[in-house]
Amino acid sequence: MDKLIIQGGGPLRGEVWISGSKNAALPILSATLLSEGLVTVANLPHLQDVTTTIELLGSLGVTVSIDEKMQLEVDNSTLQSRTAPYDLVKTMRASILVLGPLLARYGEANVSFPGGCAIGSRPVDLHLRGLEAMGATIEIEDGYIKARSDGRLVGCHILMDIVSVGATENLMMAAALAEGQTVIENAAREPEIVDLANCLNAWGADVQGAGSNRLVINGVESIEGGHFSVMPDRIETGTYLAAAVATRGRVKVTQTDPSSLEAVLLKLQETGAIITQGDDWIELDMKGKRPKAVSLRTAPYPAFPTDMQAQLTAINAVAEGTGVVVETIFENRLMQVQELNRMGAVISVEANTAVVTGVERLKAAPVMASDLRASAALVIAALVADGETVVDRIYHIDRGYECIEEKMHLLGARIKRVPG
Ligand code: UD1
């Protein structure tokens, strides 16, 4: 297993470009299954989760090719299977996103039941209930979700009792090909939902209201396909900015979308960062100063994202003062805390709340990545720690950060990858 070796020290300085969004790319790749014609998808990030999704499409029999501009072309006229097997689903829960498209387009889908994961139990009941409301029959058999539809799915009214990004996406994709109108109330409002809706509309669907909590989807008989370019990754953006804050540096991120990061930028400003921005760039300058601790509570968009919580905990670990971090989305998402404490941080956890009292400096230690965003927090901590930190199990980082060591290197970090 590869490891990252990070020599802590000076501030991050420089400019780094932002890759396409992982969380937008995964549903968009699943949505290609809805299309009758060819589709092309650009600005895909080179990430393990994207590779896994492409492998999943391949295992269904879909023809996927990549051109010289790293643009993906998908032709699903060759599709043979309607089964997402255990081996792929167990490595990536987002495989559940093929359920809605396969069912809506082919009347049949078998997706291995995703288990719990490190950050929480993560049930899929909302996905299944919504599809049943559209007329699907669903059985759980031999560890598989077996969904069937006799003819087209039928549009309906769905009220989601919890805001779920994945369920909103799955149901939006299924409703795109259903007969009649589907209304989804209490829908997730994340920018990735808007990107998926824009993509579906570009390919011939009729999805209205994305970005609000009420989606209206007028089902169409077929989706023709076309081209779409994936939005920039707001969490990757936030992570490089958070690293700049922790290291008291000055970093400019380019090829990004500042409008998708309002809650994060407000919090980073509270730490003392000076932030300037243009249409597609953000520059953050700490003017060499130690950050101030901030308190936050994660919640669905447009509030502070759970995917940035661990990185802010790392900032608080070296900040002036005490910050209280409350995680409300996932039940077990404070796993970075134990590892940060091994580096000299002073953090106590009770239930879903971490109380972080900043220390002047952290000390290098061997640490282990436990999930994607917790790993990012460990990298940030390592950048400010005295000595050489070894971060093990970095396959978690590779699921969500394209070329992290090269990009950090561009910013002056002393970081290298060693094969394990
Ligand atoms: C997506 C993101 C992930 C992010 C999360 C919350 C992708 C690929 N992943 O995950 O990075 O952290 O949104 O912003 O986009 N829930 C249920 N029943 C369901 C579905 C969800 O109870 O059927 C619960 C979950 O356990 C969780 C909460 O709802 O507590 C939110 O989860 P959800 O928004 O669905 O997260 P994902 O789509 O899995």
Atom of ligand 1 nearest to the CA of 122: 26
Q: What local confidence, expressed as pLDDT, does residue 40 receive?
A: 97
Which residue's CA is the closest to the ligand 1 atom numbered 24?
122
Which residue's CA is the closest to the ligand 1 atom numbered 11?
307
Of the candidates 337, 250, 340, 327, the one whose C-alpha atom is nearest the C-alpha of residue 287 is 250
CB atoms within 10 A of CB 116: 12
Block residue for tokens 């009770």: 350
SS3 171: helix
Which residue's CA is the closest to the ligand 1 atom numbered 13?
165
Q: In what order do the strands lie in the sheet with 214-218?
A: 157-159, 181-185, 214-218, 207-208
- In Å, what is the CA distance from 97 to each residue of 89, 172, 195? 10, 11, 15
* 418 backbone dihedrals φ, ψ, rounded to 5°: -120, 135
- How far apart CA 57 and CA 92 sit, in angstroms, is 13
- How far apart CA 290 and CA 249 sit, in angstroms, is 10
Which residue's CA is the closest to the ligand 1 atom numbered 39?
166
Block residue for tokens 């993560």: 122
Query: What does the chain come to in residues?
Result: 420
Of 117, 156, 199, 403, the active-site residue reads 117
Contact 397, 370 (CB under 8 A): no
- How far apart CA 407 and CA 219 sit, in angstroms, is 42
Is the Cβ atom of 125 under 6 angstroms away from ligand 1? yes
Is the Cβ atom of 26 under 6 angstroms away from ligand 1? yes
- How far apart CA 88 and CA 286 sit, in angstroms, is 42
Q: Respond yes or no: is residue 117 known to be catalytic.
A: yes
DSSP assignment string, 364-408: --EEE--SHHHHHHHHHHHHHEESEEEEE-THHHHTT-TTHHHHH
- How far apart CA 372 and CA 261 sit, in angstroms, is 19
* 215 backbone dihedrals φ, ψ, rounded to 5°: -100, 135
Is the Cβ atom of 372 under 6 angstroms away from ligand 1? no
Prediction pTM value:
0.97
- How far apart CA 297 and CA 202 sit, in angstroms, is 35
Question: Measured in angstroms, how far is the CA atom of residue 114 from the centroid of ligand 1?
Answer: 12
Is the Cβ atom of 64 under 6 angstroms away from ligand 1? no
Is the Cβ atom of 329 under 6 angstroms away from ligand 1? yes
Question: Measured in angstroms, how far is the CA atom of residue 80 from the centroid of ligand 1?
Answer: 29
Ligand 1, pocket-test mutation among 97, 162, 195, most atoms within 8 A of CB: 162
- What's the DSSP call for residue 44? -
Which residue's CA is the closest to the ligand 1 atom numbered 26?
122
Block residue for tokens 């998402």: 333
Is the Cβ atom of 167 under 6 angstroms away from ligand 1? yes
- How far apart CA 287 and CA 308 sit, in angstroms, is 23
Contact 63, 69 (CB under 8 A): no
Is the Cβ atom of 122 under 6 angstroms away from ligand 1? yes
Question: Measured in angstroms, how far is the CA atom of residue 165 from the centroid of ligand 1?
Answer: 5
- How far apart CA 275 and CA 233 sit, in angstroms, is 18
The token pair that represents 59 in the structure block = 């295992």
Ligand 1, pocket-test mutation among 28, 52, 89, 122, most atoms within 8 A of CB: 122
Q: What is the pLDDT along the chain (420 residues), one digit of tens a residue?
A: 899 999 998 899 999 999 999 999 999 999 999 999 999 999 999 999 999 999 999 999 999 998 877 799 999 999 999 999 999 998 888 999 999 999 999 999 999 988 666 777 678 999 999 999 999 999 999 999 999 999 999 999 999 999 999 999 999 999 999 999 999 999 999 999 999 999 999 999 999 999 999 999 999 999 999 999 999 999 999 999 999 999 999 999 999 999 999 999 999 999 999 999 999 999 999 999 999 999 999 999 999 999 999 999 999 999 999 999 999 999 889 989 999 999 999 999 999 999 999 999 999 999 998 889 999 999 999 999 999 999 999 988 998 999 999 999 999 999 999 987
Instruction: Report the run of H or E that residue 102 belongs to, with start and end.
Output: helix 99-106
- How far apart CA 185 and CA 168 sit, in angstroms, is 10
- How far apart CA 28 and CA 34 sit, in angstroms, is 10
- How far apart CA 5 and CA 280 sit, in angstroms, is 31
Block residue for tokens 């930190």: 389
Question: Measured in angstroms, how far is the CA atom of residue 94 from the centroid of ligand 1?
Answer: 10
Contact 262, 253 (CB under 8 A): no
The token pair that represents 275 in the structure block = 């932030």
Partnered with residue 283 across adjacent β-strands are 252, 276
- How far apart CA 129 and CA 94 sit, in angstroms, is 18
Is the Cβ atom of 94 under 6 angstroms away from ligand 1? yes
CB atoms within 10 A of CB 264: 25
Contact 400, 371 (CB under 8 A): no
- In Å, what is the CA distance from 245 to each residue of 70, 253, 320, 329, 383? 33, 13, 12, 25, 11
Is the Cβ atom of 126 under 6 angstroms away from ligand 1? yes
Q: Of all residues in the chain, what percent are helix, strand and coil, respectively (each to 5)?
A: 35, 30, 35
